[in-house]
C-alpha cells in the first residue's frame, strides 16, 4: 500500500470511533480533511504535533490538547491570491487526541448544522460556510479525495467490518480507547473476565467512553454472542497493571496480544462462565490463531515464560496486576481451552 493508504487506514479507525461516540460527523468528510490538511500525515504539524486538521489555537476550544505551538501557514483570499500567517496552533500528544481535538473544535454553534448532515458534501459545505477553511476549492478538493479513495465506505452502519467472521457486523462498538501502532507482532492471546454478569453489548458501551481509558478487542456474552470493540491491528487497553512480570508490564504485553473479555455468571473468586461462552472462547481463539499465523497455543502457567511466546503464548492478567482476573474458573479451564483450540488447528490430540 502507499503512504496515503496507510494514513487513511490508521486515522479512519480514530475518526469512526470518535464519530460513533460523539454522535455527529460524517467520517468520509473528516478523513478527507485530515488527508488534505496534513498532506496524508506528512506535514510538520502532523508529524511533530499530531495536528491533522489545521486547528488554530483558541483558548478553551479543546480540553484534550497539550499546549500549543507557533508556526506559519498559507491562506487564500477570496480573489484567489495567497498570503502567509504566523499564529498559534493546537498541539496534541497522539493521533487519538488529535482527532478528539477536531471533534471538540467543530462542536460550536457556528457549525451546529453539521450534526444534521448525513452525507459528506452537506457536511463540508456547512463547515466551509462557517469559515472553517479559506481555500476557495476546499469542498471540491475534499470530495475528490473521498472519491479517489472510496472513503464513503466509512459512512453509515458499522462502518468497519469486524476482523472475525464469528462477529456479526451489527455486533461492533468501536472504542476510541486504543493505541494505533503496535510495537510487536501479534503472538499471544489474553482471556479476561468482565468481573460482572453484564453482556458483551454492555461491555462495549462501557469501553466506548474515552474517559474510561479501557478496552479490549473482543467481548463474549454468557449466551455465546461475540462483540468486537478494537480492531486487532491496534493495541487495546486491557491488561494494565501495577507490577511487572518477568520484566513486562501488562500494558506492554497488550502490544503483542489479542484480548478477550468474557461475561461471568457469578462473581469473585471463581467468576464462572457459561458453557456457551466457553465454546465461543475456543472458537474465537481458533479464529484469531488462524488469521494471525499463530500455529498453536501453549499454556504452562509459568510466569517465568512471560516474554517467550514460543514457550507460552497464553498469559493472564493477574500476573501483571493485583487482580484475580481471569478468575479461578478460567484459570482451571485454560489447559482444556488450549487443548481444544489446538485440536481445531489440526494438532494430533490437541497438544504438542
pLDDT higher than threshold 50 for residue 351:
no
How far is the C-alpha of 156 from the C-alpha of 8, rounded, in Å? 17
pTM score of the predicted model: 0.67
Question: Can you give the pLDDT at residue 242?
Answer: 74
Residue after which a domain boundary falls, among 154, 170, 191: 154
How far is the C-alpha of 260 from the C-alpha of 272, rounded, in Å? 15
Q: How would residue 350 be classed by pLDDT, with cut points 50, 70 and 90? A: very low
pLDDT higher than threshold 50 for residue 158:
no
Q: Could you tell me if residue 284 is inside a domain?
A: yes
Alpha-carbon 213 to chain mean position: 12
> Domain with 328 in it: what CATH number?
3.40.80.10
Q: To the nearest whole percent, how much of the chain has pLDDT over 70?
A: 97
* One domain for residues 191 and 340: yes
Q: How would residue 169 be classed by pLDDT, with cut points 50, 70 and 90? A: confident
* One domain for residues 38 and 105: yes
Q: How would residue 336 be classed by pLDDT, with cut points 50, 70 and 90? A: very high
Q: pLDDT digit string (tens) for 148-157?
A: 998 998 887 5
Q: Could you tell me if residue 205 is inside a domain?
A: yes
Question: Can you give the pLDDT at residue 160?
Answer: 67
Q: How would residue 43 be classed by pLDDT, with cut points 50, 70 and 90? A: very high
Q: Could you tell me if residue 296 is inside a domain?
A: yes
Q: Could you tell me if residue 24 is inside a domain?
A: yes
Q: Could you tell me if residue 164 is inside a domain?
A: no
pLDDT higher than threshold 90 for residue 22:
no
C-alpha cell at 275: 458453557
The total of structural domains in the chain comes to 2
Question: Can you give the pLDDT at residue 211?
Answer: 82
Per mean pLDDT, which range of 2-6, 57-61, 159-163, 295-299 is the poorest? 159-163
Which of these, 352, 258, 247, lies nearest to 307 by C-alpha position?
Answer: 247
* One domain for residues 323 and 186: yes
Q: Structural domain of residue 295, as residue ranges?
A: 178-350
Question: Can you give the pLDDT at residue 159?
Answer: 55
> Domain with 78 in it: what CATH number?
1.10.530.10
Residue after which a domain boundary falls, among 95, 122, 154: 154
HEC profile for the chain? CCHHHHHHHHHHHHHHHHHHHHCCCCHHHHHHHHHHHCCCCCCHHHHHHCCCCCCECCCCCCCCCCCEEEEEEEEECCCCCEEEEEEEEECCCCHHHHHHHHHHHCCCHHHHHHHHCCCHHHHHHHHHHCCCCCCCCHHHHHHHHHHHCCHHHHCCCCCCCCCCCCCCCCCECCCCCEECCCCCCCCEEEEEECCCCCCHHHHHHHHCCHHHCCCCCEEECCCCCEEECCCCCCEECCCCCCCCECCECHHHHHCCEEEEEECCCCCCCCCCCCHHHHHHHHHHHHHHHHHCCCCCCCCCCCHHHCCCCCCCCEECHHHCCCCCCCCHHHHHHHHHHHHHHHHHCCCHHHCC
Q: pLDDT digit string (tens) for 61-73?
A: 999 999 999 999 8
Q: pLDDT digit string (tens) for 187-211?
A: 999 999 999 999 999 999 999 888 8
Q: pLDDT digit string (tens) for 95-113?
A: 989 999 999 999 999 999 9
Q: How would residue 240 be classed by pLDDT, with cut points 50, 70 and 90? A: confident
Q: pLDDT digit string (tens) for 262-286?
A: 999 999 989 999 999 999 999 999 9
Q: How would residue 352 be classed by pLDDT, with cut points 50, 70 and 90? A: very low
Q: Could you tell me if residue 162 is inside a domain?
A: no
Q: pLDDT digit string (tens) for 127-150?
A: 999 999 999 999 999 999 999 998
How far is the C-alpha of 186 from the C-alpha of 216, rounded, in Å? 14
Question: Can you give the pLDDT at residue 153?
Answer: 85
Phi/psi region, residue 148 (left: phi>0; alpha: psi -120 to 50; beta: rest), is alpha
C-alpha cell at 141: 478538493
Q: Quick one: CA torsion of 221, 227, 279, 290, rounded to 10 degrees? A: -160
Q: Could you tell me if residue 168 is inside a domain?
A: no
* One domain for residues 198 and 81: no
* One domain for residues 28 and 127: yes
Amino acid at each position: 500500500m502507499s503512504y496515503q493508504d496507510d494514513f487513511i487506514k490508521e486515522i479512519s479507525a480514530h475518526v469512526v470511533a470518535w464519530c460513533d461516540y460523539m454522535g455527529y460527523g460524517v467520517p468520509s468528510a473528516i478523513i478527507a480533511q485530515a488527508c488534505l490538511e496534513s498532506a496524508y500525515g506528512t506535514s510538520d504539524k502532523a508529524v511533530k504535533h499530531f495536528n491533522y486538521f489545521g486547528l488554530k489555537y483558541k483558548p478553551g476550544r479543546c480540553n484534550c490538547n497539550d499546549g500549543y505551538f507557533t508556526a506559519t501557514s498559507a491562506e487564500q483570499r477570496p480573489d484567489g491570491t495567497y498570503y502567509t500567517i504566523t499564529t498559534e496552533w493546537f498541539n496534541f500528544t497522539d493521533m487519538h487526541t488529535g482527532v478528539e481535538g477536531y471533534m471538540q473544535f467543530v462542536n460550536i454553534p457556528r457549525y451546529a448544522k453539521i450534526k444534521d448532515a448525513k452525507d459528506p458534501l452537506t457536511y463540508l459545505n456547512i463547515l466551509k460556510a462557517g469559515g472553517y477553511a479559506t481555500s476557495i476549492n476546499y469542498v471540491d478538493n475534499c470530495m475528490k479525495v473521498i472519491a479517489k479513495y472510496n472513503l464513503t465506505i466509512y459512512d453509515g452502519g458499522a462502518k468497519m467490518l469486524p476482523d472475525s467472521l464469528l462477529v456479526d457486523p451489527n455486533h461492533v462498538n468501536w472504542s476510541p480507547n486504543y493505541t494505533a501502532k503496535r510495537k510487536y507482532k501479534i503472538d499471544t492471546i489474553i482471556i479476561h473476565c468482565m468481573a460482572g454478569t453484564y453482556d458483551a453489548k454492555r461491555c462495549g458501551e462501557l469501553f466506548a467512553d474515552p474517559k474510561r481509558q479501557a478496552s479490549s478487542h473482543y467481548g463474549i456474552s454468557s449466551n455465546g454472542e461475540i462483540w468486537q470493540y478494537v480492531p486487532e491491528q491496534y493495541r487495546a487497553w486491557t491488561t494494565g497493571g501495577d507490577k511487572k512480570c518477568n520484566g513486562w508490564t501488562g500494558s506492554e504485553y497488550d502490544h503483542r496480544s489479542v484480548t478477550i473479555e468474557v461475561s461471568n455468571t457469578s462473581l469473585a473468586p471463581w467468576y464462572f462462565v457459561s458453557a456457551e461462552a466457553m465454546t465461543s472462547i475456543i472458537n474465537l481463539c481458533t479464529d484469531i490463531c488462524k488469521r494471525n499465523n499463530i500455529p498453536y497455543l501453549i499454556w504452562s502457567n509459568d510466569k517465568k515464560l512471560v516474554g517467550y511466546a514460543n514457550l507460552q503464548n497464553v498469559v493472564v492478567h493477574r500476573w501483571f496486576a493485583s487482580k484475580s482476573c481471569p478468575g479461578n474458573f478460567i484459570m482451571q479451564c485454560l489447559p482444556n481451552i488450549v487443548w481444544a483450540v489446538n485440536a481445531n488447528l489440526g494438532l494430533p490430540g490437541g497438544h504438542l
